[in-house]
Amino acid sequence: MSGFGGYKTYIRDVPDRFETEADDTLMRSMYETYAVESEDKDGLPTGRYWVTKEMAKKAAAEVVGTHLRLGKDGEKEYVEANFPALWSRFDVNEENKIEIDRMPQLLRSICGNSEACLGL
């Protein structure tokens, strides 16, 4: 969690190309909200970001809610029905995480309708 610390304070370093409002807001949201940064053997951040299955499901629910407008019940039902098969297509090594750069494709796929996800 960025800004959390004590003895050592972790500061999340979002890549420069995603830092401002004019940049890719989807990827900025992925880095700031949904991704976890891997660490080396000494516990220091590596700069490599991953999205876990749990966080990818939350991101998918947000996208379904904002782009498909199914309502809370419809959104939950839709994600429960479609996310597991979609996740297995992206997490081929069954690591329960995928590279952050693969999230836009996953989120476009969850909509099923390319016109509904034009803003992604």
**pLDDT for res 13:** 67
**pLDDT for res 120:** 61
**pLDDT for res 67:** 85
Residue 90 identity: F
Within 8 A by CB and 6+ apart from 43, the residues are none
Give average pLDDT by consecutive 10-residue segment, the chain, 120 residues: 54 63 74 88 86 96 87 90 96 95 92 66
Q: Are 8 and 17 in contact (CB under 8 A)?
A: no
**pLDDT for res 89:** 96
SS3 category, 15: coil
CA distance 9 to 45: 11
Q: Does domain 16-111 have CATH number 1.10.238?
A: yes
Domain-wise residue ranges, the chain: 16-111
**pLDDT for res 70:** 83
**pLDDT for res 69:** 82
**pLDDT for res 34:** 93
Which helix (H) or strand (E) segment holds residue 52: the answer is strand 45-52
**pLDDT for res 77:** 94
Mark out the alpha helices in the chain (DSSP H runs). 25-29, 53-63, 71-90, 103-111
**pLDDT for res 86:** 96
